Structures are given as structure tokens and as C-alpha cells.
Chain A
Amino acid sequence: MDIIEWPVDAMRVSAEDWHLVGQTLVSQGIYGPGTHGFLENRIWSVNVSLVHLQSSLWRAVRAVLDEARGQFGTIRVPVMCTLGLALGPVAFDGGVTFNGGARFGSHVPDDLVTKEALPAGASRVGLRGSLSMRLRLGTMFSLPGDALHRVARMDGDVAIVNPPLRRAVARGSKVEVLAPTALMRLTEDDGRLSRLASGHTAPTTLRLVEVLQ
């Protein structure tokens, strides 16, 4: 499976809404309030707003859509770091760097890894590494294979996450919190993307859904 890279800079978008979409079975009760049956079949979905995309980055996104061939292609989509910290060499918004292209330096933390091997379906992820103290409600990270997860709460150095792990993870696997990624695909074949005279982009949003491996 060829994976198309979505440029990180082109994902500095004005709005995004990473959310899990699932299904609940609801049956009306005869003598009671009814039953809500939950099926663990949630997958990631996101609407990416492109309305303020710069012209150079607009062309990059256009190229990604060309290569994706509609719903066919798998795209590795960067997820904005949710730690709220500038960790590692960074460029300012808009891609501002030093003249030579070097980025701005800052503290580079050690890798965050899984503390133990975890089976598929696990929703408690034990962590090891200094960054584990910075994880909190809502932090997003990815595990090997671009499996995206969001922290529901922390229990010491154990993150309770959604969705559960799609597949087993080995002990010491890297937990990517600074630059998480997810494998997604477009939900429409018609990859229209236009640059308007106003400087804005249309359509203003692209919808992507998770690729299950």
C-alpha cells in the first residue's frame, strides 16, 4: 500500500475536528427507558478547513489530492501537536525559519515509549519517558502504524485512550506525541480544490476518514 504524505506545513489549517464516529443501537423499552447498545466500531473522521491555505501550500494539497486519486489513496495526515508546547526544532506558523532553512531550537525530550506489550483492544496504555508527565485529557498521539489515539484521562503513567488499540503493540514502541499522524482517505472521489480570486480556497473543507489496516 503506497502512502501519500500530506505536508506538515499544509496541515496548519484554521480549523479541524478530529472525532470518532461510531454507532449506537437504541431499542425502545416496553416497561423501561429502553436500551442503548454500544458497539466498539468507532473510526476517526476529520473535516479539515483549508480556507486560509497559502498559495504555495494550496498547490501542495492539490498535488496530494491528485495523487490520492479520490477515495483510492491512503494519506498520512499530520495531526497538530496537542501538548501545547514547542518541543524540538520548529518553524513559526507560515513556515518562518532562519535564512539557511534551520528551524528554531528548543528542548528535545527523550522518546516516549510503551511500558509493556499491549494486546489489540487495549485501552490502557502504560507509558515510559519524561513526556508522560505532560500528557493530559485530550492529548493526541500515534502508535506505530500511524494509529491515532486521544487521552481520555491519565492514571499515573497510564493513559486511558480512545479508540482502543486496533492491533497489538510491542513493549518499547514509540508513542508519538509531538508529531502524531493518522492514515486517512478522502470520503469523496471528486477532489475539487479551487483557488479563488479572493485568495481563499474552495471547497473550504475536506473530509477524511480513517483507513483501517
Chain B
Amino acid sequence: MIQGRFWEAQPVELHDAIQAALRSSSVKLARLVEFDFSTGPVRLCDWAVPMTDGANGYEWTPMIAPSRVEDIKGGPDDWAPVRKYSMTIPLDVMRELTADIGPYPDLRDKTVYQDREASMWLQLMDPTPGLHGVDRPLGHPVTLHRGRMDRVQIGLTRDGVEHSLYVEGVLARKGVQGSGYLTPRDQKRRHAGDLFLDYVLGLPTQPAKWPDY
């Protein structure tokens, strides 16, 4: 029996159907990525046909290129972790796909994306297609990751364009300094008035102020 928050989030009447689908060795699924840009949300899926999700009934634009979520890492010595969403679009399908997205925002303007939410979902699909053989969602999508967009990086290679978006999840440390080490200022932010780190040598920003005995 599958338990936990995934299960609680699914409609009760679909529990049996979801259980049966998950027990099968073959499942039909879709990965969904939503960017809440200030110009309006952009919703993409890695299918070749548009699809709707089972929670809100949003339509997700086909993107084919599988999106990828990297391990949480970042900053010197991985002390300031972020998660990177990458979508490598092969050149042979890039032009049509980017045209399909339609009102894609101008990402040169940071206010369009910075500190706004991005999320990645997994939608289970019903093994039995609906009217006209159209695939339909089964249950609500499951969150794979959600966080806040921080910066965009676009790489051009010989074979395609890699569009990377750094998304800070709950494990990211907002406002950490470049070195990523915990500082006395961090400590005071979390525990007001705590002076402990002021007296630890080797921390980069705050020189130790030893008491005058």
C-alpha cells in the first residue's frame, strides 16, 4: 500500500486506479515544468502533443525536449546549493518548439523571473485513453521540485541550445556570501543576539573580537 502525502493528495475515488497503474511495470507519464513569469505562467511538458493535468486542467505546451533536474549543488564547496533545471533542445526541433511556446518572456529583464516560482511535476497518465483515443491524466501531478528562479543561463553548442535556469529550493541559502560559509551574520539572523560565531576564528567576514580580560 502506498502511503504518505502523495497518496493523501490523490482523489479518493482514483486510489484503486492509481494503485493499479503504479503496480504495472509500464506506466505512461509526463513531466511538466511551470515557470511563473511576471508576464504570465509558461507551462511546458515533454510530450509531442499538448496535454492537460489532472489537478487544475491546465493545458501544457508540448516541448519534447526532456527537462532535467540536476542534483542540489552550487557555490564553492557546494555550500550554497541551488538546483538547476536544464532543457537541451536539439537544433533540429528547436525553431518550431520555441515558436510554439508563444508569448515567451524577455529573460533579459530579471524582474520577469527572479525570485518567482518555478516547479517541476510528474503526471501519471491513464492507461486507458479517453474519447478519440486522447490520453488523459490519472490523479493529480506529483511535485518533483519547486523553488524560486534565480538566474538564467543560455549556452550555445554545435548541436543545440541549452537553456538553464537556476532555481533555489528550500535548501538554498538566500543571501549567502560568495564563499558560502556560515557567517556570524547568518547566525544572528537565525538566532537573534547569538554571538557564538563572533568568537570563532577562521570565519571569513567577521574578525574575532576577543574580550579584553
Contact = CB atoms under 8 A, between A and B. Distances in A.
Q: Which 8 A-B pairs have the closest CB atoms?
A: A123-B133, A124-B133, A122-B132, A121-B134, A121-B49, A212-B96, A40-B47, A36-B26
9 contacts: A34-B25, A36-B27, A38-B26, A39-B66, A40-B28, A40-B51, A43-B64, A123-B133, A160-B133
A42 B48 contact: yes
A35 B66 CA distance: 18
A38 B49 contact: no
Interface residues of B, number: 27
Given A37-B29, A71-B91, A121 B51 contact: yes
A120 interface: yes
A40 B49 contact: yes
Contact of B93 (A42, A120, A212): A212
Interface string B54-75: 0000000010101000000000
Interface stretch (A99-107, A129-137, A163-171, A193-201): A163-171
Nearest to A123: B133
Chain B facing A: main interface SS:
mixed
Interface residues of A, number: 33
B114 to A, nearest CB: 30
B92 interface: yes
B92 A71 contact: yes
Contact of A41 (B25, B48, B96, B135): B48
B134 A40 contact: no
Interface string B99-121: 01000000000000000000000
Nearest to B63: A41
Contacts of B25: 32-36
Nearest to A211: B96
A120 B96 contact: no
A209 B64 CA distance: 13
Given A23-B66, A36-B25, A41-B66, A123 B100 contact: no
Contacts of B134: 119-123, 164
A185 interface: yes
B27 A35 contact: yes
Interface in A140-183: 160, 163-166
Contacts of B48: 40-43, 163, 166, 212
A213 interface: yes
Nearest to B50: A120
Interface in B76-103: 91-93, 96-97, 100
Contacts of B28: 37-38, 40
A121 B26 contact: no
A80 interface: no
Contacts of A39: 29-31, 46-47, 66
A187 interface: yes
Contacts of B47: 39-41
A35 B29 CA distance: 11
A71 B135 CA distance: 32
B40 interface: no
Contact of A38 (B27, B31, B62, B91): B27
B27 A41 contact: no
Contacts of B50: 120-121
Nearest to A187: B92
B129 interface: yes
A188 B139 CA distance: 42
Contact of A122 (B27, B93, B133): B133
Interface string B161-179: 0000000000000000000
A106 to B, nearest CB: 33
Nearest to A188: B92
